[in-house]
C-alpha cells in the first residue's frame, strides 16, 4: 500500500442530507498514483467516496479504464494532483463503466485516441457508466492526423450522466465532437446533462460528420432521450451545416451561446424538443445560422439572434418542407411547431419552406409563428418564402423597418433598439414581442475551466521575424528550414535554385524584391508541399518550370494528402514555362485535402500545360471538395492549357458550404482550349464572377449539382470565346 502512496485519511464530504446538508466525516481512501501500473493496482480497492489521483506530469500512451461502483452521495473520483498539470498524450483515452463515477481535471493533448472515442461512458458494449460525471476535462487538438479518419471525442452512453465544465477545441478530423449514443438495451431515456462546457474551434471539415453535438441517430429518433444541453458556449464551431444535430425526442437546448459558429442548431429528427433562451451571435460572419425546424411539436422560443449571415439550410431561422410519410432518415413534415418570442436582429435570411423539392413536398401544418421581432437596421427584408405557409398561424409579429410582403401576421413599424442589461438589443417601447427583456447569457469564463486557455494562439502569416536570403543553389531551402512560425524570408533579385520539395506546415512568407526579379527554379516535381495547418504566402516572385523533371503530378505547389486547415496566398507573382510535363499545374490539391483559403491576386501565369488551380481530387461524391474559399483577383492567364480553374464537389450531401469562388478582374487569353474549357466549376456552391475577360479561350462552365448553388455572373466579356455553359440561371447583378 505505502509504495502506491495510499493513505487513509478523513475527507470531508458534503452529504446532501435532507436535514440541511451538514458536512459529515467519512472514511475515504485517497491514492496518488504515478504510473499506469499503480493505477491498475489501486483501482480494484476503491470504495465509494474514494479519490484516485494521477500525479502531475505527462502520461503518455495511457488508455485509462476507470471502473467502479460509487454511491449517490459518495462517488468514486479520478482526478489530477493539480488541475492543468496532468497531461494525457500520445495514444491515450478514457473509458468508464459502473455507477457514480466522477472524472475531473485531466488534459488530453499532443496525440489522439487509438480507438473511436477519447472519452467514453462505456468500457464495452455491455459495461456502461450510469449516474456518472465528467467535469473539468480539457481535450485540446487531440485529433487523428488524417482528417478523413473518424472518431467521437466524447461518447455518452447509458443514462443519467453529466458532462459539464469541460473544454473541447481543435477537432480537425471527421466525427462528432460529442455524441449521445442511444440503444434500447441500455434504455432510450438517457436523461443526460451536458452543461457549462466550452466547445471551441472546430474548423470546417468539408464533409458531413463535423457536428459539434449530436443527440441520437435517425434510427431511434421516434423515442425520447430527455437530454438537456444547457449553458454551453459554442465558439467557432464551424465543422459543417449542423453545429448541433438533434436526432431524438424530448430534449432541451437552453441558455447556450453560439458565437460566430458556421451552421445551425438543427432539429433534424425527433419530436417534442424545446429550444429556448439561446443566444446566437454571428457578427456577420459567413454561414452563421440559428435554428432549423423539422418534425413534430418542436418549440423554439425566447431565442436571441444577432448578425447571422447564413442562408438556406443555415439561415437564422429555417422551417423546412418535409417528405410525405417520411422514412425516419429523411425529413418528417413540420407539424405543431411553436416559434414565438424570438428576436432576430440583422439576419440575412429567414427561410420558410426550405428544401422544397419533388421529394420534400409536404408544407408545415398546425404550427404557430407569433410575437417574434425581426429588425434589420439596414432595411433589408430577410424573409424568404418557398411553398405554402398556410399551415402556420402568423400572429403578433413585428418587423422593422417595414413588414414583409411575403407573409401575413407581421406588422411593420420602425423599431429602435438599445442594449439592455444583458447586453442584448431590446426594442424601445415594445412589449411582449421578441425575447423577454431579462434574457441574459452565460459569460464565456463561466464555461469550461479557468486553469487552461480557451484558445491556443497560432502564429499568423507575417507575425514573425524577417530573414534575408541571397540568390544561389539551396539557399532558399536552408533559409526556410530555419524560419519560425509566422516568419518571412526576403529575396534579393537573382536566381534561386531549389533541389528538394519544401514542406510548409506552419505560416511562412516568401517575399521578393519590390524592384528587380527574384526567380525560383526547382528540380523536383514540386517546389512546395503544404501540410495541415500550413500557410504559405508568396509575394513578388517569379517561378519557372525550366528545371522541373518530366514526371506526372508536377505542380509548383501541392497540398499533401489529407492536408486541412491550410492557406495559400500568392500576390504580385508570375509562373512561367510549366511545360515539361503534359499536365503541369501551378497548384494541385492532394487526395482528401481541403484548403481554408486559396487566394491569387495580381498573378500572371504564362505557358502552363495543366491548371492554375487543380482542385478535383474529391471524386467520392460525398459532398467533399478541395478548397473552402478560392479567390482570384486581377490576374492574367495566357496560354494555359487548362481548365485554368478546376473545382469539383460531387454528390447530393447537404452538410457543407463550399466551395465558394470569387473571380474578378482577370483575363484569360488562349487558355482552356482543351475539352474542359477555361473554367470547370462542378458543384461549386457559390461563384461570383465579375469583370473578367475571355479572349480566344475555351468556354467556361458552371454545373449545379445540389442545393442552391449561386452563380453571380456580371460584366464578363467574351472575345473569340464560346459562351458560358451552365445549367442554372445566373444572377446578374450590378458590378
Ligand atoms: Ca451532419
pLDDT single digits (tens) 371-420: 999 999 999 999 999 999 999 999 999 999 999 999 999 999 999 999 98
**Ligand 1 center to residue 203 CA distance, Å?**
14
State in Å: Cα 97 to ligand 1 middle: 29
- How far does residue 384's CA lie from ligand 1's centre (Å)? 24
Question: How many whole angstroms from 242 Cα to the centroid of ligand 1?
Answer: 5
Residue 106 predicted with pLDDT over 50 = yes
The pLDDT of residue 707: 66
Instruction: From residue 315, give the alpha-carbon distance in Å to each of 26, 159, 246.
Output: 54, 33, 17
Q: Residue 733's pLDDT band (boundaries 50, 70, 90)?
A: low
Cβ–Cβ < 8 Å for 394, 407: yes
pLDDT at 14 over 70: no
Q: What is the mean pLDDT of the chain?
A: 93
Query: What pLDDT score was predicted for residue 6?
Result: 42
CA–centroid distance, residue 212 to ligand 1 (Å):
9
Say what the pLDDT of residue 651 is.
83
Q: Is the alpha carbon torsion for 654, 656, 659, 660 positive or negative?
A: positive
In the block, residue with C-alpha cell 509562373: 575
Band the pLDDT of 709: cuts 50, 70, 90.
low
Cell numbers 507575425: residue: 463
Q: What integer is the mean pLDDT of 31-48?
A: 96
Which residues, in sequence order, are CB contacts of 663 under 8 Å at separation 6+?
631, 632, 645, 679, 687, 688, 689, 690, 692
- Say how many Å lie between the CA of residue 317 and the centre of ligand 1: 18
CB burial string 508-530: b at 16+ within 10 A, e below: bbbbbeeeeebbbbbebbbbbbb
- Which carries the bigger pLDDT value, residue 28 or residue 31? 31
612 CA to centre of ligand 1 in angstroms: 32
Q: How many Å lie between the centroid of ligand 1 and the Cα of residue 185?
A: 25
User: What are the phi and psi torsion angles at 190 (to 5°)?
Assistant: -80, -40
Distance 209 CA to ligand 1 centre (A): 5
Measured in angstroms, how far is the CA atom of residue 655 from the centroid of ligand 1? 5
- The percentage of residues in the chain with a pLDDT greater than 90, rounded to a whole number, is 85
The β-bridge relationship of strands 6-13 and 24-33 is antiparallel
Residue 240 CA to ligand 1 centre (angstroms): 7
Strand pairing report for 660-664 and 133-135? unpaired
C-alpha 258 – ligand 1 centre gap (Å): 17
Cell numbers 505547389 correspond to what residue? 557
Q: How far is the CA of 687 from the centre of ligand 1 (A)?
A: 24
Question: What spacing in Å lies between the alpha carbon of 656 and ligand 1's midpoint?
Answer: 9
- Cis omega before residue 19 (within 30°)? no
pLDDT single digits (tens) 219-272: 999 999 999 999 999 999 999 999 999 999 999 999 999 999 999 999 999 999
Taking the C-alpha atoms of residue 509 and residue 568, their distance in angstroms, rounded to an integer, is 10
Question: How many A from CA of 589 to the centre of ligand 1?
Answer: 24
Whole-number Å distance, alpha carbon 208 to ligand 1 midpoint, is: 5
Stretch 664-678: mean pLDDT: 95
Q: Ligand 1 centroid vs 205 CA: distance in angstroms?
A: 11
Residue 410: the pLDDT is 97
Cα 426 to ligand 1 centre (Å): 33
Average pLDDT over residues 315-344: 97
Q: How far apart are CA 185 and CA 190, in angstroms?
A: 12
Percentage of the chain lying above the pLDDT 70 cut: 95
The alpha carbon of 574 and the centre of ligand 1 are apart by a number of angstroms equal to 41
Is the preceding omega at residue 171 within 30 degrees of 0, hence cis? Answer: no
- Report whether 393 contacts 367 (CB < 8 A): yes
For residue 703, the CA-to-ligand 1 centroid distance in Å is 24
How do residues 481-533 score in pLDDT, each as one tens digit? 999 999 999 999 999 999 999 999 999 999 999 999 999 999 999 999 999 88
pLDDT tens by residue, 449-477: 999 999 887 889 999 999 999 999 999 99
Residues 6+ apart with CB under 8 A from 2: none
Q: Ligand 1 centroid to 156 CA: how many Å?
A: 18
Sheet with 679-682, side-by-side order of all strands: 502-504, 526-530, 555-559, 585-589, 613-615, 645-648, 679-682, 701-703, 725-726
Tell me how far the alpha carbon of residue 707 lies from the centroid of ligand 1, in angstroms: 15
Span from the CA of 596 to the centroid of ligand 1 (angstroms): 19
- pLDDT beyond 50 at 626: yes
CA of 211 to the centre of ligand 1 (A): 6
- How far, in Å, is the centroid of ligand 1 from the Cα of 542? 43
Which of these, 14, 65, 13, lies nearest to 36 by C-alpha position? Answer: 65
Amino acid at each position: 500500500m505505502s509504495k502506491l502512496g495510499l493513505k487513509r485519511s478523513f475527507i470531508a464530504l458534503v452529504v446532501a442530507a435532507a436535514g440541511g446538508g451538514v458536512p459529515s466525516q467519512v472514511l475515504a481512501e485517497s491514492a496518488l498514483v504515478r504510473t499506469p501500473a499503480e493505477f491498475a493496482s489501486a483501482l480494484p480497492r476503491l470504495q465509494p467516496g474514494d479519490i484516485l489521483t494521477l500525479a502531475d506530469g505527462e502520461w503518455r500512451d495511457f488508455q485509462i479504464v476507470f471502473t467502479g461502483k460509487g454511491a449517490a452521495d459518495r462517488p468514486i473520483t479520478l482526478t489530477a494532483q493539480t488541475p492543468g498539470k496532468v497531461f494525457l498524450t500520445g495514444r491515450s483515452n478514457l473509458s468508464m463503466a459502473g455507477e457514480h463515477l466522477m472524472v475531473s481535471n485531466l488534459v488530453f493533448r499532443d496525440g489522439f485516441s487509438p480507438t473511436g472515442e477519447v472519452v467514453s461512458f462505456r468500457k464495452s458494449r455491455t459495461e456502461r457508466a450510469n449516474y456518472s460525471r465528467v467535469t473539468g476535462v480539457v481535450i485540446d487538438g487531440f485529433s487523428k492526423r488524417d482528417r478523413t479518419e473518424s472518431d467521437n471525442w466524447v461518447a455518452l452512453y447509458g443514462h443519467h450522466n453529466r458532462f459539464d465544465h469541460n473544454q473541447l477545441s481543435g477537432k480537425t478530423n471527421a466525427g462528432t465532437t460529442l455524441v449521445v449514443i442511444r440503444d434500447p438495451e441500455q434504455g432510450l431515456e438517457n436523461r443526460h446533462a451536458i452543461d457549462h462546457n466550452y466547445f471551441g474551434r472546430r474548423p470546417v471539415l468539408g464533409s458531413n460528420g463535423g457536428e459539434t453535438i449530436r443527440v441520437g441517430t435517425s434510427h431511434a429518433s421516434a423515442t425520447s432521450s430527455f437530454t438537456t444541453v444547457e449553458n454551453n458556449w459554442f465558439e467557432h464551431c464551424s465543422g459543417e451545416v449542423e453545429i448541433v444535430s438533434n436526432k431524438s425526442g424530448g430534449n432541451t437546448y437552453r441558455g447556450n451561446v453560439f458565437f460566430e459558429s458556421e451552421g445551425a442548431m438543427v432539429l433534424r429528427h425527433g419530436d417534442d424538443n424545446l429550444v429556448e433562451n439561446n443566444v446566437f451571435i454571428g457578427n456577420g460572419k459567413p454561414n452563421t445560422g440559428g435554428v432549423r425546424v423539422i418534425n413534430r411539436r418542436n418549440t423554439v422560443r425566447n431565442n436571441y439572434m444577432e448578425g447571422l449571415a447564413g442562408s438556406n439550410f443555415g439561415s437564422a431561422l429555417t422551417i423546412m418542407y418535409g417528405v410525405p410519410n417520411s422514412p425516419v432518415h429523411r425529413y418528417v413534415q413540420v407539424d405543431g411547431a411553436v416559434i414565438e418570442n424570438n428576436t432576430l436582429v440583422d439576419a440575412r435570411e429567414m427561410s420558410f419552406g426550405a428544401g422544397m423539392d419533388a421529394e420534400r413536398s409536404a408544407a408545415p401544418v398546425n404550427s404557430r409563428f407569433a410575437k417574434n421581432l425581426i429588425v434589420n437596421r439596414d432595411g433589408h427584408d430577410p424573409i424568404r418564402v418557398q411553398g405554402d405557409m398556410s399551415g402556420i398561424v402568423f400572429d403578433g409579429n413585428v418587423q422593422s423597418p417595414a413588414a414583409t410582403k411575403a407573409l401575413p401576421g407581421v406588422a411593420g413599424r420602425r423599431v429602435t433598439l438599445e442594449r439592455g442589461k444583458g447586453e442584448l438589443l431590446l426594442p424601445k417601447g415594445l412589449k411582449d414581442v421578441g425575447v423577454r427583456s431579462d434574457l441574459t447569457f452565460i459569460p464565456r469564463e463561466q464555461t469550461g475551466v479557468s486553469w487552461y486557455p480557451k484558445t491556443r494562439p497560432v502564429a499568423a502569416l507575417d507575425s514573425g521575424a524577417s530573414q534575408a536570403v541571397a540568390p544561389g543553389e539551396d539557399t532558399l531551402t536552408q533559409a526556410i528550414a530555419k524560419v519560425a512560425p509566422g516568419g518571412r524570408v526576403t529575396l534579393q533579385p537573382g536566381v534561386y535554385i531549389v533541389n528538394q520539395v519544401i514542406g510548409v506546415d506552419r505560416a511562412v512568407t516568401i517575399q521578393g524584391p519590390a524592384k528587380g526579379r527574384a526567380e525560383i527554379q526547382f528540380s523536383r516535381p514540386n517546389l512546395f508541399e503544404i501540410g495541415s495547418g500550413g500557410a504559405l504566402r508568396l509575394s513578388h516572385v517569379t517561378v519557372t518550370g525550366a528545371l522541373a523533371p518530366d514526371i506526372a503530378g508536377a505542380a509548383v505547389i501541392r497540398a499533401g494528402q489529407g492536408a486541412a486547415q491550410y492557406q495559400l496566398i500568392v500576390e504580385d507573382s508570375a509562373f512561367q514555362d510549366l511545360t515539361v510535363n503534359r499536365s503541369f499545374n501551378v497548384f494541385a490539391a492532394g487526395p482528401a485535402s481541403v484548403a481554408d483559403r486559396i487566394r491569387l491576386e495580381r498573378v500572371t501565369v504564362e505557358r502552363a500545360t495543366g491548371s492554375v488551380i487543380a482542385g478535383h481530387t474529391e471524386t467520392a461524391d460525398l459532398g467533399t471538395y478541395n478548397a473552402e474559399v478560392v479567390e482570384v483577383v486581377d490576374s492574367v492567364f495566357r496560354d494555359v492549357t487548362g481548365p485554368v480553374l478546376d473545382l469539383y464537389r460531387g454528390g447530393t450531401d447537404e452538410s457543407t458550404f463550399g466551395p465558394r469562388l470569387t473571380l474578378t478582374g482577370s483575363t484569360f487569353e488562349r487558355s482552356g482550349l482543351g475539352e474542359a474549357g477555361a473554367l470547370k466549376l462542378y458543384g461549386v456552391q457559390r461563384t461570383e464572377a465579375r469583370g473578367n475577360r475571355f479572349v480566344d479561350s475555351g468556354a467556361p462552365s458552371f454545373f449545379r449539382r445540389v442545393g442552391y448553388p449561386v452563380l453571380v455572373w456580371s460584366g464578363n466579356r467574351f472575345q473569340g470565346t464560346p459562351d458560358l455553359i451552365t445549367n442554372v440561371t445566373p444572377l446578374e447583378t450590378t458590378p
